[in-house]
Amino acid sequence: MPDSPPPPSAEARAARDAAVQYLLGRINYEKAPAVPYDSRRLKLDRMRALLAHLGHPDRGLPIVHIGGTKGKGSTAALVGRILREAGFDVGAYTSPHLQCIEERFTVNGQLCPPDELVALVEEIRPAVLQMDAEAETTGDRSLRPTFFELTTALALLLFRRRKVDLAILEVGLGGRLDSTNVCQPAVTAITSIGYDHTQQLGDTLPEIAGEKAGIVKPGVPLVLGPLTSEAREVIAAVARQRSARIVEPDADYRCEFHAPTAQHPWHAGGSVSFSLVAAERDNLAVERAPLGLRGAHQAANAGVALGIVAELRDQGWLVSHDAVLRGLARAQLAGRVDVVSQQPLVVLDVAHNVASATALADFFAGAPRNVPKRLVFAATRDKDVRGIIRTLAPSFDNVWLTEYHEAARSVPIAELESLWLEATAELPAAAHIVGVTPSPAEAWQAARSAAESDSIIAVTGSFFLIAELRPLVTGQTGSAATSA
C-alpha cells in the first residue's frame, strides 16, 4: 500500500471527510447492485464535458492505460515502481480502494494528502454544479457526473498540479465505456480476459473481450497478457482496424516464473526471467530477477509490465536495466497475496473471480501439507460464487463464512452457507464450515483464536471484505483505516 500522509488535524479531517462525502453522494456503480453496461448510464461524452469544464487536464499528459479482468493493479504497481526507480515522477489512478479513498490517487507512491483532496474537490465543484444544472434544465438526469467520473477527473487534476512525467490509469469496469477511456495514451495494455462482471460485459469470453478492446486506440501500441485464442481473436481484430501494433507473449516477449529457492520461505516472491523475441528492437532482458509481488501468476503481470516499459523505451524514455531490477523487487500492492503476519501466516487477498481464486489456490499449493490452513470468506452477488468456492475449498481445512457491510452486493450469510455446501458436495476434499457469522470481525477473531503459531489463515473473496478487515487484522488505526 502507498505510504500514508501524516495524520491531519481535527479541522482538516472534518474538511476531508466532507469532501469525501461529497464524492460518495454521487451515483456509485462500484457499490450499487449490478447495473446494465450501456451508453445511457456510462457516457464518455459526459466525461469529456467534465474534463472540458476543467481545462482538459488529460491533454499533454503521457499516459499508460491498463485494462483487463485481473492483473491490472499488479501491472500498474510494477510499471509505476520501475519508472520511479528510473527517476520519473509517476501518477497512478487505481480502483477500488481498500481503506481510504486517497489510495486511488498517488504520486510517486504517496497518497494524495487530505488538504489537497479538499482543494481538488473544491476545484471540480463549479463544473459539477454546471452539469447538474444542465441535467435539471433538460430533465435528463443522466447528464449528472458519477462518482467514478469525478474521481477520474480528480486524479487527472492532481497529476497536472504535480507536473508528473507520466500517469498510469487503471480501467474501472470493462473498457469501452469506462471514464478512463477518454485518454490518449502512449501505451495501452490488456492484462487478461476472464469471467467477471458478466451481467454488464457479457457471459462469453468474446463478448467480454470486445468490451475490454474498447480501450485500443488508433496507432497506439497494445501490450497483451496471456489470452485464450477466442479472446485474442476479438482483440486482434479491433487492433487491426485501429492500426494498433500488438505486443504479446511468445510472439513478441517471453516471461517465465521461478519459484522461491530452498534458501527462501515458500511464500516468498520468487523471480522472473524476461526477454524480447525481437532483441534487435530493444535489449531489455532480465534473468531470475527477484519479484516483490507473490505468486506464480505475477509472471504474467510482470511480462505485461516489462512489455510496457520496452514500448516506453522505444519512445525515448530512459529506463535502465538496474531501474527495472529495482522496480520488480520493490513493487508492492496491498491485498494481493498480501502477507501481513508470520506467526500465524496471515494472507489477505482480494480474489473475487475464478481466475483470481485459482491464482490464490496455486500459491497455497506451495505450502507444507501438514500445516493447518484456515479460511475467512465472503462473496459478492454478481460473481461466480460457486466457481470461486470450488476453486478455493480444496486448499483449506476449515472455513469461517461471513458477509461484508460496505456495499449492497454482499451474499447474505445464510445464502453463502447454502452455496458453500452445494458447491463442495461432490468435491473429494473441501474446507469444513466451522463458523458462520454476519460479522467479519467475529469471523476473523474466531479463525485467529483457533490458529496455532504455525497455521495459515487466508482472508479472501472480495475487495470489500479485505477493506473491512485489513485495519483489524493489521492493527492499523487512523485515516488510513477508514473505509471512505
CB atoms within 10 A of CB 292: 18
Give the per-residue pLDDT at 195. 83
pLDDT of residue 482: 42
Q: What pLDDT was estimated at residue 173?
A: 87
Residue range(s) in the chain whose domain bears CATH number 3.40.1190.10: 10-330
State the pLDDT confidence band at 146, using cuts at 50, 70 and 90.
very high
C-alpha distances (whole Å) from 383 to each of 315, 387, 433, 436, 469 are 39, 9, 21, 20, 20
The SS3 of residue 46 is helix
Looking at residue 31, its pLDDT comes to: 60
Contact 66, 171 (CB under 8 A): yes
Q: What angle do CA 364, 365, 370 make, to 5 degrees?
A: 90
The DSSP result for 215-239, as a single string, is G--TT--EEE----HHHHHHHHHHH
> Between 202 and 116, whose confidence is greater?
116
Q: Who's near 141: CB < 8 A, 6+ residues apart?
A: 135
pLDDT cut 70: percent of the chain above it: 92
| pLDDT above 50: residue 478 | no
Burial classification of residue 163, based on how many CB atoms lie within 10 Å of its CB (0-12 exposed, 13-18 middle, 19 or more buried): exposed
CATH number for region 338-481 = 3.90.190.20
* pLDDT of 481: 38
**More confident position, 27 or 231:** 231
What local confidence, expressed as pLDDT, does residue 30 receive? 66
> What is the three-class DSSP state of 124?
helix
Q: With DSSP H G I counted as helix, E B as strand and the rest as coil, what are the percentages for the chain, rounded to 5?
A: 45, 15, 40
**292 pLDDT above the threshold of 80:** yes
- pLDDT-derived band at 12, boundaries 50, 70, 90: confident
Q: What angle do CA 39, 65, 244 make, to 5 degrees?
A: 90
CATH 3.90.190.20 boundaries in the chain: 338-481
Question: What are 196-211's pLDDT values in tens digits?
Answer: 766 677 779 999 999 9
pLDDT tens digits, one per residue of 338-359:
999 999 999 999 999 999 999 9
Please tell me the pTM assigned to this model.
0.93
Cell 469506462 belongs to 178
Average pLDDT (356-376) is 96
Q: Which residue has the higher pLDDT, 43 or 101?
A: 101
- pLDDT beyond 70 at 3: no
Which amino acid is present at 289? Answer: A
Q: What is the mean pLDDT of the chain?
A: 92
Among residues of the chain, what percentage have pLDDT more than 90?
A: 85
| C-alpha cell recorded at residue 36 | 446494465
Average pLDDT value for residue range 95-120: 96
* Whole-number Å distance between alpha carbons of 163 and 165: 7
pLDDT at 197: 65
- Give the C-alpha distances (Å, rounded to integers) separating 123 from 29, 43, 119, 161, 319: 23, 22, 6, 12, 35
pLDDT at position 475, please?
87
CATH of 10-330, one of 3.40.50.300, 1.10.10.10, 3.40.30.10, 3.40.1190.10: 3.40.1190.10
Question: What pLDDT shows up at residue 10?
Answer: 85
Q: What is the pLDDT of residue 258?
A: 97
> Which residues partner with 376 through β-bridges?
400, 459
Q: Which amino acid is at 254?
A: R
- The answer to whether residue 415 scores a pLDDT higher than 50 is yes
> Has residue 401 got a pLDDT over 80?
yes
Q: Is the per-residue pLDDT at 34 higher than 90?
A: no
Contact 158, 107 (CB under 8 A): yes
Residue 289, phi then psi, degrees to nearest 5: -80, 125
Q: Which residues pair with 257 in a beta bridge?
A: 272
